[in-house]
Amino acid sequence: MEEIVKTSSLINQEAEKSEMLQLVTFELAGEFFGIDILKVQEITPMTKITRVPNAPHYVEGVINLRGKVIPVVDLRKILQLDFKEYDASSRIIVLQLDGKIIGILVDRMNEVIWVNKNMIETNPTQSDSKISDNYIIGIVNLEDKLIILLDLYKVFNIQEEQKH
């Protein structure tokens, strides 16, 4: 009987975990954003970015990260947010999206948080955000702030692989 209780408890813990989402949160233009931690390869301090001729306007250039050349995108330009110089608190979040590696520039890293999936408001048109709804999965309303969940596949116009 004790074995059944332990197994049942483990199943309940797994079910609770599947209802949770772990987010890396960051700031950009005074707004808070969150992205699924499973898409984040690493977070690195601001470094020298080498410009690439004829790159799209939102591509700042490339960085060399341990021998790998990674394109770095200014998320402000894609999301059409106000320009700001990057400073000592700026970071590059290196993402892996279906085999593509992309760095995004952000103003400041915040924290890694767990949220229950039922906390995500999927009708974000009621928010005060300046971000196009096309790029938003939903919004998490925490006690002290709203966190905008970005759909990175739409932001970077990547077709998400069908995982059937």
3-state secondary structure of 125: helix
Give the residue, 113 or 129, on which the prediction is more confident.
Answer: 113
In contact, 103 and 95? CB cutoff 8 Å: yes
Superfamily of domain 20-155: CheA-289, Domain 4 (2.40.50.180)
In contact, 135 and 81? CB cutoff 8 Å: no
Give every CB contact of residue 71 below 8 A, 6+ residues apart in sequence. 52, 55, 59, 61, 62, 102, 103
Domain ranges of the chain: 20-155
Read off the pLDDT band of 78 (50, 70, 90).
confident
What six digits make up the tokens of 111? 């924290």
pLDDT in tens, 119-144: 988 865 554 555 556 788 899 998 88
What six digits make up the tokens of 34? 């969150």
pTM of this prediction?
0.79
**What whole-number distance in Å separates Cα of residue 40 and Cα of residue 103?**
10
Query: What does the CA dihedral 77, 152, 86, 42 come to, rounded to 10 degrees?
Result: -160
**What whole-number distance in Å separates Cα of residue 37 and Cα of residue 154?**
17
